[in-house]
Amino acid sequence: MPRRLAPRVWWHRALGRAVPVPSGGETIADHLAEVFGLPIRVTLRVRPARRANRKPLLEAYGPEGLLAYVKIGDSDRARALVRNEAATLRALADEPLKTVCPPAVLHHGEWRGLEVLALAPLPVPSRAARVCRRVPAPLVHAAVREIAALRPGEPHSWHGDFAPWNLARGADGRLLVWDWERFGSGVPLGFDAVHLFFHRALRRMRPEDAARACVAQALPTLAPYGLSAARARRTACHYLITLADRHAADGHQPLGPPARWLTPLIDEQEAVL
pLDDT by residue, tens only, the chain of 273 residues: 555 555 555 545 555 554 444 445 689 999 999 999 999 999 987 555 555 567 889 999 999 999 999 999 988 999 999 999 999 999 999 999 999 999 999 999 999 999 999 999 999 876 545 544 678 999 999 999 999 999 877 789 999 999 999 999 999 999 999 999 999 999 999 999 999 999 999 999 999 999 999 999 999 999 999 999 999 999 999 999 999 999 999 888 999 999 999 999 999 998 766
- Residue 187: CB atoms within 10 Å: 18
Task: Name the β-bridge partners of 58.
Answer: 44, 70
Contacts of 70 (CB under 8 A, 6+ apart): 28, 32, 42, 57, 58, 59, 60, 116, 117, 118, 119
Q: pLDDT value at position 128?
A: 47
Q: pLDDT value at position 56?
A: 87
Contacts of 50 (CB under 8 A, 6+ apart): 252, 254
Among 128, 166, 134, residue whose Cα is nearest residue 147? 166
Q: What gap in Å lies between CA 256 and CA 51, rounded to an integer?
A: 13
Q: What are phi and psi of 152, to 5 degrees?
A: -60, 145
Q: What gap in Å lies between CA 145 and CA 148, rounded to an integer?
A: 5
- Per 3-state DSSP, what percentage of the chain is helix, strand, and coil (rounded to 5)? 40, 20, 40
Q: pLDDT value at position 20?
A: 44
What is the helix (H) or strand (E) element at residue 115, kind and residue range? Answer: strand 114-119
- Which ranges of the chain would DSSP assign to H, the alpha helix? 28-36, 76-92, 127-132, 137-148, 191-201, 207-216, 218-222, 229-250, 258-261, 263-270
Task: Say if residues 141 and 129 touch (Cβ distance below 8 Å).
Answer: no
Q: pLDDT value at position 5?
A: 57
Task: Say if residues 196 and 102 touch (Cβ distance below 8 Å).
Answer: no
Q: pLDDT value at position 217?
A: 98
